[in-house]
RNA sequence: GGGCCGGUAGCUCAGGGGUUAGAGCACACGCUUGAUAAGCGUGGGGUCGAAGGUUCAAAUCCUUCUCGGCCCA
């Protein structure tokens, strides 16, 4: 006999909300609605007068399509803005772009080259106009892509560092440095490409493996106050850049290293045994023998690899510490040339000297090395500018001056080249041979670069910030052998601040104090930026380029002082506001200076783009152009690479001009790797393009991914991962679908007071209240991974697998007026409102779709605030009861599954559970609960006994044809239980 | 090469000296066919990157190594 079909009498969920999302098609439609309604403006109006959360966006570079790093970065930013807004705060978000700088210049130049045009023949103004147009193009492209990602911001009025008002702000900020004396013109070794005759930024340099000539050169010691016995011995230095020997000015040693003196036979003596080679004519054995000094730890290696025959390692003539070299002086192998080469070469203690390779003694050419420059500067030894921009020695240089070859030419450095030949003739060359290593090359020409001192503008890190001090520039063309003047006010080189800067109000001290006062998420960021600021050299501000903000200074040709005139500065700022960077012309200079114009050198260098970005806080937060903002920011949020970048440029800029950081807190994220944890690169073919992900999965999937990974570390993305995220999304989407279906037709009239609800409903509300607190904590800690997994666990475990499963019976089969069903629907409505709001910052499109499905005429879900959760819903005693009940459920299901495997039952609804326990408290705790209902079984019996047991068996009860429960009160005729009979016939 | 950071199930993540290392997903098997390209249950799956050390006891603390990342050279 077949049961009557009661299906039409059952209240099944009803909704048009589709199970399949179709995000790639649907999201753009939702976005168009937001744009048409100006959601951002609506949100500003809705939050007017609320507590502000000042988030300041770091400007990405306006060059190229959005990549996965941008996507992650902006999703996190958007999540911060949206979650804070959800908490009820007013959170403006003005996106911005970094628009000046080299990469854009390159691209524009490339276009010229493609057209066979010469960039140098294009007027600067025209060239800059093209750069501006190029930047604007990518700003527009990226703005579109970021909006597609669901980033809600002031897209109608973003900030661009190339806005005239921004360029004026940057100049204004620079002039603050000038007016407070925090600028100086100095020299510094920079990466220089002799081929392109220009300085290179780090980003323009790439490293390649090459083979250079390595040489060991002997410097005769002429004075050694701490170890007189060393006079006449030779200090051996090792270098892979022989061309720097003609610019040597000293020798560095390490105070901690052990040094050793041994005998060395002149190479000529060895070569003399070879046929056709003349012996070292006319020299006695004694003359051909040198006492040479190297680090003890390196002796064997040198003897083995570079001087297999010359070095006599078996007889130690002297042993000592680096400190024995204090005050010692050597002479240059070419001292006989006189002039520059005749001056003494002092021994200097350098903490960068190691015994990793070389000889433990390092030759110092302050023109051509950073360590060299710093150490020499600290001892009053200045660069001599022996190598010209084209990479050749100055024509008047005493040794090799006018040498036709560029110093990077391998032939010049070769063992048989002019340098080695001269050193050999002077008896100073102890070895010469090939050496393979990694060496910097120009990104564009692929040619080797050199370190070369050039005049640059600096911000001093360790100069006390006080009244303005006139500064001086070094003479542009020092003569051979002359002492080169350094600015007397020039700050100390890096590494010296510890001794000299302590206690003074310096930029470094201010920056370190500001770091200590800043909140970091994760906290390790403090350590990272702190150690960088502690160790960083002075800030090199100048670039010899076209596309950027000019260093608007006039330098007195006689005194070298730069002009500080507030009224002139004001005129400069005003003109920049009107015309932007093109204002900086000789005509303008004449207008400003009148007859005095020839008295001054107009600086044409432009600013490091990091200075631009360091000023965004002034432009965006302070200028009044975005009145919704105020200074300082509550938060800056960028990738961990910005510890060296924007976090630092902003910090230094602001500390110098305002005495504190422009932010209260910093949030950093790691980098996105491929599925196996490796860096993405075009050549590896492992790049995941966010635009593709949006096309195949949708922006909400990408957002859920970004907010599910541990962004504070490096994290991965790949097909498998995205598939997993999509599965997680489907679960959330289906939960919404179920809620929408279950709440079909729900109205306020149906609501039931919490006090009248069954235990399960009250327990769900309790869970909601607990969850609300946990989610708030996660939001305030920016812990989005925790945020999404808390929601996920709640949906998965508490709702889907438990409460919703249990309450299906009530929802489907109770009378619509039954308090039990009304109670559950009341709770489902509360859950619906909580989940849509909580997930709105994550699944921005889906949340809107869900909201619009239930409330087609309502405003956007994104205008809503944190769900109203009554703290009184928390009920610890109830939670304890349910913890116990769910544990019991778990245990029972283990046994029930056995029963099912044995084919005794199909559905658990057919089974009964009998529990015996000695714990009377457990029985009491479960007393108020309908366990059969919670376990979804026919019946549960708990009895007190001496032992613990849990038995399951098929319950011999009739099945209700409508609700499918196995109950004692099923009418044999109708096959309905009492409840269902009342609903169907009552 | 230097500074800093990281490596827990196939995936995303918990756990930071103390029972047999957890969760969700995925996978396998089963139930249901009234959330149905859905829902529920059960299960398998880990030398906690490797090796030493400290300790009664180590995924956890220390050292070295390895792999990977960011920054710098």
- pLDDT single digits (tens) A485-496: 333 333 333 333
Please compute the mean of the pLDDT values over residues A499-528 and round it to a whole number: 85
pLDDT at A279 exceeding the cut of 70: no
- Binding-site residues of A, in ranges, read 638, 682, 960, 963, 977, 980
Count helices and strands (H / E) in chain A.
31, 31
Where residue A966 falls among pLDDT bands split at 50, 70, 90? Answer: very high
pLDDT at A283 exceeding the cut of 70: no
Q: What is the DSSP string of A949-981?
A: EEEEEE---EEPTTT--EETT--TTT---HHHH
- Of chain A, the percentage scoring pLDDT greater than 90 comes to 63
Q: Which CATH number fits domain A883-955: 3.30.2320.20, 3.40.50.300, 3.20.20.70, 3.40.50.410?
A: 3.30.2320.20
Distance, angstroms, CA A414 to C1' B33?
Answer: 84
Higher pLDDT, A327 or A670: A670
Closest nt to A720 (CA→C1')?
B11
Distance, angstroms, CA A12 to C1' B21?
Answer: 43
Closest nt to A897 (CA→C1')?
B42
Q: Which CATH number fits domain A38-182+461-669: 3.40.50.620, 3.90.1200.10, 3.30.559.10, 1.10.150.120?
A: 3.40.50.620
Domain boundaries, chain A: 7-17+737-874, 38-182+461-669, 198-453, 883-955
pLDDT digit string (tens) for A577-630? 999 999 999 999 999 999 999 999 999 999 999 999 999 999 999 999 999 999
pLDDT at A192 exceeding the cut of 80: yes
pLDDT digit string (tens) for A912-936? 999 999 888 888 889 889 999 999 9
Distance, angstroms, CA A909 to C1' B40?
Answer: 12
With contact defined as beta carbons under 8 Å apart, do A72 and A637 qualify? no
pLDDT at A454 exceeding the cut of 80: yes
pLDDT digit string (tens) for A317-327? 888 888 888 88
pLDDT at A792 exceeding the cut of 90: yes
- Binding-site residues of A for L-isoleucyl-5'-AMP, in ranges, read 638
Task: Write down the pLDDT at residue A267.
Answer: 58
Please compute the mean of the pLDDT values over residues A430-450 and round it to a whole number: 82
User: Could you identify the residue whose CA is nearest to the C1' atom of nucleotide B71?
Assistant: A641
With contact defined as beta carbons under 8 Å apart, do A185 and A369 qualify? no
Task: Write down the pLDDT at residue A2.
Answer: 58
pLDDT digit string (tens) for A718-750? 999 999 999 999 999 999 999 999 999 999 999
Q: What fold does the segment set A198-453 form as a domain?
A: Isoleucyl-tRNA Synthetase; domain 2 (3.90.740)
**Looking at residue A794, what DSSP letter applies?**
I
Distance, angstroms, CA A519 to C1' B53?
Answer: 37
At a CB cut-off of 8 Å and minimum separation 6, what does A870 contact? Answer: A754, A765, A769
Q: Where are the alpha helices (DSSP H) in A517-635?
A: 524-535, 566-579, 586-593, 609-614, 616
3-state helix, strand, coil in chain A (%, to 5): 45, 15, 40
Closest nt to A896 (CA→C1')?
B41
What mean pLDDT value characterizes chain A? Answer: 89
User: Could you identify the residue whose CA is nearest to the C1' atom of nucleotide B7?
Assistant: A677
What is the C-alpha to C-alpha distance for residues A134 and A446, in angstroms, rounded to an integer? 25
User: Could you identify the residue whose CA is nearest to the C1' atom of nucleotide B23?
Assistant: A793
Strand B bases within 7 angstroms of protein beta carbons: 1, 3-6, 10-14, 23-26, 30-43, 68-73
Task: Write down the pLDDT at residue A498.
Answer: 37
- Binding-site residues of A for ATP, in ranges, read 682
Lowest mean pLDDT of A65-69, A420-424, A682-686, name the range. A420-424
The region that residue A560 occupies, defined by phi over 0 for left and psi between -120 and 50 for alpha, beta otherwise, is left
pLDDT digit string (tens) for A859-901? 999 999 999 999 999 999 999 999 999 999 999 999 999 999 9
User: Could you identify the residue whose CA is nearest to the C1' atom of nucleotide B1?
Assistant: A356
Q: What fold does the segment set A7-17+737-874 form as a domain?
A: Isoleucyl-tRNA Synthetase; Domain 1 (1.10.730)
Distance, angstroms, CA A527 to C1' B54?
Answer: 28
pLDDT at A477 exceeding the cut of 50: no
Annotate A892-934 with three-state secondary structure: HHHHHHHHHHCCCCCCHHHEEEEEEECCHHHHHHHCCCCHHHH
Same fold across A7-17+737-874 and A198-453: no
Distance, angstroms, CA A724 to C1' B27?
Answer: 13
Task: Write down the pLDDT at residue A341.
Answer: 85
Task: Write down the pLDDT at residue A20.
Answer: 94
Distance, angstroms, CA A61 to C1' B49?
Answer: 37
Task: Write down the pLDDT at residue A15.
Answer: 97
With contact defined as beta carbons under 8 Å apart, do A392 and A403 qualify? yes
Closest nt to A680 (CA→C1')?
B69
Distance, angstroms, CA A640 to C1' B67?
Answer: 21
Closest nt to A800 (CA→C1')?
B39
Closest nt to A961 (CA→C1')?
B34
- Binding-site residues of A for Zn(2+), in ranges, read 960, 963, 977, 980
Task: Write down the pLDDT at residue A272.
Answer: 39
- Of chain A, the percentage scoring pLDDT greater than 70 comes to 93
Q: Interface pTM (ipTM) of the complex?
A: 0.97
Distance, angstroms, CA A714 to C1' B58?
Answer: 26
Closest nt to A639 (CA→C1')?
B70
């Amino acid at each position: 006999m077949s049961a009557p079909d009661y299906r039409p009498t059952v209240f099944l969920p009803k909704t048009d909300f589709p199970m399949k999302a179709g995000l790639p098609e649907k999201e753009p439609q939702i976005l168009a609605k937001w744009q048409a309604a100006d959601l951002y403006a609506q949100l500003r109006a809705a939050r007017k007068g609320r507590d502000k959360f000042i988030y300041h966006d770091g400007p990405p570079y306006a060059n190229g399509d959005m990549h996965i790093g941008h996507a992650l970065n902006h999703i996190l930013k958007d999540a911060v803005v949206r979650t804070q807004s959800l908490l009820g705060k007013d959170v403006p978000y003005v996106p911005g772009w970094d628009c000046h700088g080299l990469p854009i210049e390159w691209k524009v130049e490339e276009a010229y080259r493609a057209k066979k045009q010469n960039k140098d023949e294009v007027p600067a103004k025209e060239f800059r106009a093209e750069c501006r147009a190029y930047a604007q193009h990518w700003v527009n492209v990226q703005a579109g892509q970021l909006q597609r990602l669901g980033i809600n911001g002031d897209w109608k009025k973003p900030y661009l560092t190339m806005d005239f008002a921004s360029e004026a702000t940057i100049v204004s900020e620079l002039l603050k440095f000038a007016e407070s004396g925090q600028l100086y013109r100095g020299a510094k070794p920079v990466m220089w490409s002799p081929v392109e005759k220009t300085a290179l930024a780090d980003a323009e340099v790439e490293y390649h493996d090459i083979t250079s000539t390595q040489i060991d050169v002997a410097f005769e010691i002429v004075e050694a106050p701490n170890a007189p016995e060393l006079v006449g011995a030779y200090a051996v230095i090792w270098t892979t850049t022989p061309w720097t020997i003609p610019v040597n000015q000293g020798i560095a040693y390490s105070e901690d290293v052990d040094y050793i003196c041994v005998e060395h036979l002149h190479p000529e003596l060895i070569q003399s045994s070879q046929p056709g080679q003349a012996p070292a004519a006319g020299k006695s054995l004694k003359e051909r023998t040198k006492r040479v000094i190297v680090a003890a730890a390196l002796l064997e290696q040198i003897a083995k690899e570079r001087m297999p025959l010359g070095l006599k390692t078996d007889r130690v003539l002297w042993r000592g510490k680096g400190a024995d070299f204090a005050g010692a002086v050597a002479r240059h192998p070419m001292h006989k040339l006189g002039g520059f080469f005749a001056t003494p070469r002092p021994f200097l203690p350098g903490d960068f000297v190691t015994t990793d390779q070389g000889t433990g003694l390092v030759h110092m050419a302050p023109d051509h090395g950073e360590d060299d420059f710093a150490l020499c500067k600290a001892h009053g030894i200045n660069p001599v500018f022996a190598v010209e921009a084209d990479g050749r020695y100055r024509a008047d240089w005493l040794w090799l001056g006018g040498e036709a070859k560029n110093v990077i030419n391998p032939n010049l450095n070769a063992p048989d080249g002019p340098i080695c030949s001269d050193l050999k003739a002077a008896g100073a060359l102890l070895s010469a041979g090939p050496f393979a290593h990694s060496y910097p090359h120009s990104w564009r020409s692929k040619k080797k670069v050199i370190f070369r001192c050039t005049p640059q503008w600096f911000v001093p890190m360790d100069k006390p910030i006080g009244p303005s001090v006139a500064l001086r520039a070094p003479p542009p063309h020092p003569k051979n052998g002359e002492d080169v003047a350094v600015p007397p006010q020039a700050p100390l080189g890096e590494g010296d601040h510890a001794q000299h800067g302590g206690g003074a109000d310096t930029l470094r001290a201010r920056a370190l104090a500001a770091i200590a006062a800043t909140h970091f998420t994760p906290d390790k960021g403090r350590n990272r930026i702190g150690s960088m600021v502690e160790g960083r050299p002075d800030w090199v501000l100048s670039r010899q380029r076209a596309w950027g903000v000019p260093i608007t200074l006039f330098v007195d040709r006689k005194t070298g002082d730069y002009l500080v005139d507030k009224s002139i500065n004001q005129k400069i700022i005003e003109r920049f506001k009107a015309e932007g960077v093109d204002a900086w012309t000789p005509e303008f200079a004449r207008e400003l200076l009148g007859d005095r114009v020839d008295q001054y050198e107009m600086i044409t260098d432009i600013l490091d783009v990091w200075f631009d970005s360091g000023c965004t806080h002034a432009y965006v937060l302070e200028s009044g152009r975005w009145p919704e903002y105020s200074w300082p920011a509550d938060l800056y949020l960028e990738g961990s690479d910005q510890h060296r970048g924007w976090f630092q440029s902003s910090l230094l800029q602001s500390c110098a001009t305002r005495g504190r950081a422009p932010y209260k807190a910093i949030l950093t994220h790691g980098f996105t790797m491929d599925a196996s944890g490796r860096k993405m690169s075009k050549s590896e073919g492992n790049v995941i393009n966010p635009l593709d992900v949006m096309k195949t999965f949708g922006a909400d999937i990408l957002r859920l991914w970004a907010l599910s990974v541990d962004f504070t570390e490096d994290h991965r993305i790949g097909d498998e991962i995205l598939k997993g995220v999509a599965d997680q999304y489907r679960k959330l989407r289906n939960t919404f679908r179920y809620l929408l279906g279950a709440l079909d037709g729900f109205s306020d009239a149906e609501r039931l007071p919490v006090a009248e609800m069954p235990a399960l409903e009250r327990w769900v509300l309790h869970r909601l209240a607990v969850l609300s607190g946990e989610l708030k904590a996660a939001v305030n800690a920016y812990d989005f991974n925790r945020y999404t997994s808390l929601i996920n666990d709640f949906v998965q475990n508490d709702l889907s697998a438990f409460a919703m499963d249990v309450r299906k019976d009530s929802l489907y089969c109770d009378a619509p007026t039954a308090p039990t069903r009304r109670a559950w629907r009341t709770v489902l409505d509360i859950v619906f409102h909580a989940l849509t709001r909580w997930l709105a910052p994550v699944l921005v499109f889906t949340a809107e779709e869900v909201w619009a499905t239930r409330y087609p005429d309502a405003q956007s879900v994104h205008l809503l605030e944190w769900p109203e959760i009554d703290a009184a819903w928390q009920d610890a005693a109830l939670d304890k009861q349910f913890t116990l009940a769910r544990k019991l459920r778990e245990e029972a299901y283990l046994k029930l599954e056995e029963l099912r495997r044995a084919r005794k039952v199909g559905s658990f609804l057919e089974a009964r559970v009998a529990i015996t326990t000695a714990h009377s408290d457990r029985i009491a705790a479960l007393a108020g609960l309908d366990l059969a209902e919670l376990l979804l079984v026919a019946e549960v019996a708990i009895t007190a006994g001496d032992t613990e047991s849990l038995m399951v068996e098929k319950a011999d009860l009739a099945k209700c044809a409508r609700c499918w429960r196995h109950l004692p009160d099923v009418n044999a005729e109708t096959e309905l239980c009492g409840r269902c009979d009342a609903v169907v016939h009552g």
